Amino acid sequence: REAPLSIEVVDAPEIEGEGKPRRNAKFPTLVSTPFISRPELDTPWAVFSDSAARNGAKDCLGHRSYEEDGTRGDYIWESYAEVHNKSVALGYSLSKVCSIPKGGKVGIYCVNMPEWTLSMLASWSQSQVCVPLYDSVGVDAVRYIVNHAALPLIICQRNKLQTLLEAAKDCRSLRHIVLVEGLTDEDSSTVASSRKDLRLWSLQQLIDLSPGDVAPSPHSNTDLATILYTSGTTGDPKGVMLTAGNQLSSAAGCLLIDPAFDGDSVDTSTYFKDAIYMSYLPLAHSFETLTQVSSILVGCAVGFYQGDVRKLVTDDIPLLRPTVMAGVPRVYARIYDKVTQGIAAKGGVAKMLFSWGYNEQSFWVNRGLRNPIWDAILFRKVRAALGGRVRLLASGAAPLSADLHHFLKVCFGCPVLQGYGMTENCAAAVVMPIAYSGTGNVGGPIPCTEVKLQDTDDYKCTDVYPATASEFENQVSFKGEFKPALAGKVVPRGEVCLRGNNVFVGYFKNDKETKETLDSDMWLHTGDIGTWNTDGSLSIVDRKKNIFKLAQGEYVSPEAVENSVSPSKFIGQVWVYGNSFENYVVCIIVPDKEVMMAWAKDTGKSGSFEQLVADKEVQKMIFDDLIACGKGAKLRGFELPKRCAFESKINELGQGFTIEEELLTPTLKLKRPQLLKKYQKQIDAMYAEIRAEEEAAKRAV
């Protein structure tokens, strides 16, 4: 029997409409630093300096070399000592040459690369504020962030220079542009022709201008260290202000959940000692920022992908062979698709063997064990898809389905951590312990965080689970299958509220939003609906703000429906819609081109992707599979889409809903108002078809 993941704070006062706060069962007194015997290491810069001293010769940051033919070669590494010295030198020049003072802001606008992390560390070495911009954003977003943050300096790639210069025409605060590549005459003339008052530097030029032996002047624990701009689905992005202590607290929490870690030496960690991490998720996102801080904390080697996500699985991962990887559910779903499609393509004995081995290994995994024979025969080959030596997978940014979670554990033979957090609490508040065997939840509070639930209109901390299966079938509040163990018991549900040293200090220049999100007792109101499970784990079951009501009064969470039907292998993207004037849910589907073309080849179906998507029989097949996935996830009848329309115009990443059209945020969340605006005609047509069908049925009667 596993130990509980959280315990109540017993001396907390009873407050009507709220549950008592819960904390990590192993750390009932909140802990915000990683090393118990060294409390002075209380900022990311402090732990990085200590890590560089301990791991000076070890690999720190690595990138793919550039070959003469334009391809990318082996990984080239810089050591911890080299990165530390470079970051101190760059920080000195940012301060003394570019006149960025303590508390001054440094923007970073490039894809994941060693220079990104180096720039972040450099800004922290001089108590400056790091302000990342997503590499995918365009002129309008760049202009907004530069003006809102009053950025005086931005470090960027050459391929972002034109976008930045276009925005800079209306950004008078911007005085310096630093290219991560070496300067060319063309770069200088391009900048001069745009704005003569802009100073252009190369990153190496600023490093070389440092006199050498200079002392850093880093943040204190409470100093503002980073402003992360959220990729909001509506309105302008908000600047989330995070202190140095905020960012370290979440990273420390992720280390302390390793049961082997003794609280003092990273060498005691089973999973983080001598780790190699693959960095490819956007570094402007809080999840990847957390992994960077966590990596330098433990002395991990961080290898960066080459900037093209299409080559990540086929090229970068096999070469780096990481031991630790983080991903979002869609990335893991792609891996699932590739594995299952590969097995299906082989058919016959191979398919039967995989099914047999998977079921056998599932039996042992459910009991916290593994059968080494099946690993040797079958799953060793599956593990090779991620380089063959991965020992820890982490998932964040969206819920990971229980089935996909279990699949990853069975096939890759390592813990698969799922967590819950948001930008406003440095990406981590609740995380599964490494040795935890459960699925279908996000774990327990990390050591620096306490969590409580608060009543909403639809969810109460005093909710009682249906007493019988028939009672369960006649209600709509509790989802999924009937659970006899909960029959008639109180199942606390409500808005998830978080408090701890990782919670942000407010939104930059936005007191109104700050007061709406942080209450007077410093509880962060997330807008997510959670429920406590019997083992002290938390499950996220809904989203407070994204619920809509159908005409008959039933409430639907579009995100829950989308998550339930997304496992269909034919679906690349899906958007679910409904409103209070209609009785049914409808959706727009972007089919997965790779899957569709493979399916067409296997079934002898001819035609281009666009022709396949336009084929009525193919549309019915995709829609039927979507409905089957929804029913398999126990969606209610009114939650299942009644009609669907298809989008066949996709970009090179296979996306029909794109960032460029402002249908997705940089973190790939759906922007629902913009989607409605684009697909209003299709929505209207689907509802017209439904009404016509109902009228015809009435006339027939």
The pLDDT assigned to 129 comes to 98
The pLDDT assigned to 2 comes to 65
**Residues 66, 68, 74, 78, CA torsion sign:** negative
Q: Read out DSSP for 3-68?
A: PPSEEE-TTSPP-TTBPPPEEESS-SS---SS-TT-TT--SHHHHHHHHHHHSTTSEEEEEEEEPT
Options 3.40.50.150, 2.30.38.10, 3.40.50.300, 3.60.15.10; which CATH number does 6-28+324-388+390-543 get?
2.30.38.10
**Angle at CA of residue 23, ends 21 and 27, nearest 5°:** 155
The pLDDT assigned to 641 comes to 94
In the chain, how many H helices and how many E strands?
A: 22, 28
Residue ranges covered by each domain of the chain: 6-28+324-388+390-543, 44-317, 548-700
- Which token pair is 132? 């990342």
- Helices marked H in 518-615: 558-565, 593-603, 609-614
Q: What is the CATH code of the structural domain delimited by 548-700?
A: 3.30.300.30
Distance separating alpha carbons of residues 129 and 117, to the nearest angstrom? 14
Distance separating alpha carbons of residues 225 and 214, to the nearest angstrom? 21
- Which token pair is 543? 């989203």
The pLDDT assigned to 232 comes to 60
**Angle at CA of residue 665, ends 663 and 668, nearest 5°:** 95
The pLDDT assigned to 316 comes to 94
Contacts 24+ apart (CB under 8 A), 688-691: 689/643, 690/582, 690/584, 690/586, 690/642, 690/643
The pLDDT assigned to 1 comes to 56
The pLDDT assigned to 7 comes to 93
Could you tell me if 449 and 473 are in contact, meaning their C-beta atoms sit under 8 angstroms apart? Answer: no
The pLDDT assigned to 184 comes to 92
Give 10-residue mean pLDDT values along the chain (701 residues): 84 92 91 85 93 93 90 94 97 96 97 97 97 91 95 96 94 96 92 92 96 90 95 75 95 84 74 90 91 88 92 90 88 82 83 91 88 90 89 83 87 89 92 81 92 91 92 80 90 95 96 93 93 92 76 80 88 90 92 92 90 94 94 87 94 89 83 88 93 83 66
In this predicted model, what pLDDT tens digit does every residue of 615-636 receive, in sequence order? Answer: 999 999 999 999 999 998 888 8
Q: What is the CATH code of the structural domain delimited by 44-317?
A: 3.40.50.12780
- Per DSSP, which regions of 161-272 are E strands? 176-179, 199-202, 224-229, 239-243
